[in-house]
Amino acid sequence: MKRTDTFNSGLSENDVTDESVFLNRRQILRQLGFIGAGSLLASTSTHASASLLDLLGRNNAPSEEGFRTEPLSFTAAERTPEQILTAEDKITGYNNFYEFGTDKGDPRRNAQALQVNPWTLTVGGEVRQPLTLDYDDLFRFQLEERIYRLRCVEAWSMVIPWVGFPLAALLKQADPTSDARYVAFETLHDPEQMPGQRNRFSGGGLNYPYVEGLRLDEALHPLTLLAVGLYGKTLPPQNGAPVRLLVPWKYGFKSIKSVVSIRLVKEQPPTSWNRIAPHEYGFYANVNPQVDHPRWSQASERRITRGGLGSDERIPTQLFNGYAEQVAHLYRNMDLTRAF
Ligand SMILES: Nc1nc2c(c(=O)[nH]1)N[C@H]1C(S)=C(S)[C@@H](COP(=O)(O)O)O[C@H]1N2
Ligand SMILES: [Mo]
């Protein structure tokens, strides 16, 4: 097993904040009891490598694990926006989680008391093997680190090092029947813990619980992740602890947080944002620079990097958020301007 510690060398004081945590991820995860020695990197799939390749440089030989880690030792000044991990403080302090309020700072402010352990996640519907998972079960899957772009429909974006496992691993355990064509997800509904659920003003007008859905082939795609951590630690409540979905080629609202229910279903399930504004938010919600939101352009995005005045850059938005090579085939015969 190749050691990653050497990549710390050459970092100035300024650089050794969030990134040092990230680079020491193996030690941190081991302390948390996530992994036996070395198992996290060893379990990284080729798909994780593909997204890392894309984000973190094209000119470096892969490490033994298939990671291309070397660009992480660059200082921020040497990197392009595509190569900068968004600062941990931004990822955990600039959030959309309307159950805790609609301002970007509300989730961090209001979510800290969310009880995430014990937790129950059920998998049911059109399956031969219904499942009930508790908190500890979430950490028994083979965890991988995945660096994904997150592109919010509001036209800002981040680059986030998640820890999680493919949703497909869970769905295969549940063994979907041949009637299963879609997957429906539901967030915890608990107005006592979630102030945004108490009335329609504090929760942005959404109906709760927050619900989302995917076609089964999208749900089984190897990029589709259930995340249980970021920056090498368990998820903060504001990012959707203890388990949230990530569908990196779709707008962020598809990536439903704090999931308690996953159901395999026959028909396309309702989704929260589509329900309140169907002409603005489609079921598919694939990132597409050519299909504008009725009220703003989707051609570019504000990439949030380290925060601070002038540090964000406006960059062109990519079709399928840069994951076209992996996912375009899912939509081969579809008109993406209609199925937006
Ligand atoms: N339950 C729930 N999930 C949610 C949301 C929400 O309000 N409630 N917001 C979505 C939106 S709009 C985005 S952009 C992402 C933000 O994830 P982050 O705060 O971890 O960056 O979460 C998504 N998942
Ligand atoms: Mo979003």
pLDDT at 144: 83
323, 248 contact by CB (below 8 A): yes
Residue at 310 is within a domain: yes
How close is the Cα of 253 to the center of ligand 2, in Å? 5
Task: Give domain status of residue 73, yes or no.
Answer: yes
Q: Would you give per-residue pLDDT tens digits along the chain (340 residues)?
A: 222 222 222 223 333 334 444 544 444 444 444 433 333 333 333 323 222 223 223 323 333 333 233 333 334 555 666 668 899 899 999 999 999 999 999 999 999 999 999 999 999 999 999 999 999 999 888 888 888 999 999 999 999 989 899 999 999 999 999 999 999 999 999 999 999 999 888 899 999 999 999 999 999 999 999 999 998 889 999 999 999 999 999 999 999 999 999 999 999 999 999 999 999 999 999 999 999 999 999 999 999 988 777 788 899 999 999 999 999 999 999 999 999 9
Position 258 in a domain: yes
Identify whether 157 is part of a domain: yes
Could you tell me if 174 and 123 are in contact, meaning their C-beta atoms sit under 8 angstroms apart?
yes
Cα separation, 268 vs 73, in Å, equals 45
The count of other CB atoms within 10 Å of the CB of residue 310 is 5
Question: Number of structural domains, the chain?
Answer: 1
**CATH assignment of the domain containing 119:** 3.90.420.10
Pocket test residue of 103, 206, 253, 301 for ligand 1, highest count of atoms within 8 A of CB:
253
Atom of ligand 1 nearest to the CA of 258: 1
Distance of alpha carbon 136 from alpha carbon 50, whole angstroms: 29
272 assigned to some structural domain: yes
Sign of the CA dihedral running 12, 14, 19, 21: positive
Q: What is the pLDDT of residues 280-309, one digit of tens each?
A: 999 999 999 999 999 999 999 999 988 777
Domain span including residue 73: 13-331
Phi-psi region of 294 (alpha: psi -120 to 50; beta: other; left: phi over 0): alpha
* pTM across the whole model: 0.82
Centroid of ligand 2 to alpha carbon of 60 (angstroms): 33
Give the nearest ligand 1 atom to 238 CA: 19
Q: How far, in Å, is the centroid of ligand 1 from the Cα of 210?
A: 10
143 in any annotated domain: yes
Confidence (pLDDT) at 253: 98
Residue 23 lies in a domain: yes
**Who lines ligand 1 at CB under 6 A?**
95-99, 150, 152, 187, 210, 239-240, 252-253, 255-257
Whether 180 is covered by a domain: the verdict is yes
